[in-house]
Amino acid sequence: MLQVELASTILSYCNETDLSVSELIRKVGGNYGNTMTQLKELKERSLLRSEISREKSAGRPRQLLRTTPIGRRFIDEYKHLHDLSLRSTDNDIRKALHQVELARRLVEQGISPYARFQEINEVARNIASTAKVKRSTR
């Protein structure tokens, strides 16, 4: 049976670049057997095809996986469906509401959130640029 989320991940990877089966399995991670089953299923449904690499190299010729035109359509349609779901969890929303409460308290104490935002942001930017300089001077 097709596992829609995994199928979409596989098709997306194979749409972006040509991958061999072992490369794809490394990228997808997770259970090897499960990914292989999905690959077989996707090929049977003509959403994915494999072809022999034309590149000349030593050893056995590589088999590359490619997403078919209906496979690309599958990715688009899945993306539409995926867009319908929320990314944030209940916990994320609770935290955001707590932050709103804290921001309200600032206003009650006569502190401008915009002024505080500028201060904090400037500090964060300085830290980020210092980190970049440190990385580049290593």
Partner 1 sequence: MPGTSRALRKLSEVLDKLSIEHMLIGGFALAAYGQIRTTQDIDMAIAASYPKSVELQTRLEKMGYQVSPKPDPKAPFFFVTDLKQMLEVEMWTKPDGVVFDAELMRRRVKVNPYNDDFAIFTIGPEDFIVNKLARRDRGVQDELDAVSVLKLREGKLDYLYLKKRARQVNVLELLETLAQKSGNEID
Residues that bind partner 1 (CB under 8 A): 83-84, 86-88, 90, 92-93, 95-97, 99-100, 103-104, 106-107, 112-118, 120-122, 124-125, 128-129
Nearer to partner 1, 58 or 102 (CB): 102
H helix count then E strand count, the chain: 6, 3
CB of residue 27 to partner 1, shortest distance in Å? 20
Nearer to partner 1, 52 or 107 (CB): 107
Tokens 């359509």 belong to residue: 73
C-alpha–C-alpha distance, residues 52 and 74, integer Å: 24
CB of residue 40 to partner 1, shortest distance in Å? 32
Nearer to partner 1, 58 or 84 (CB): 84
Contact 35, 10 (CB under 8 A): yes
How does strand 48-52 pair with strand 19-20? unpaired
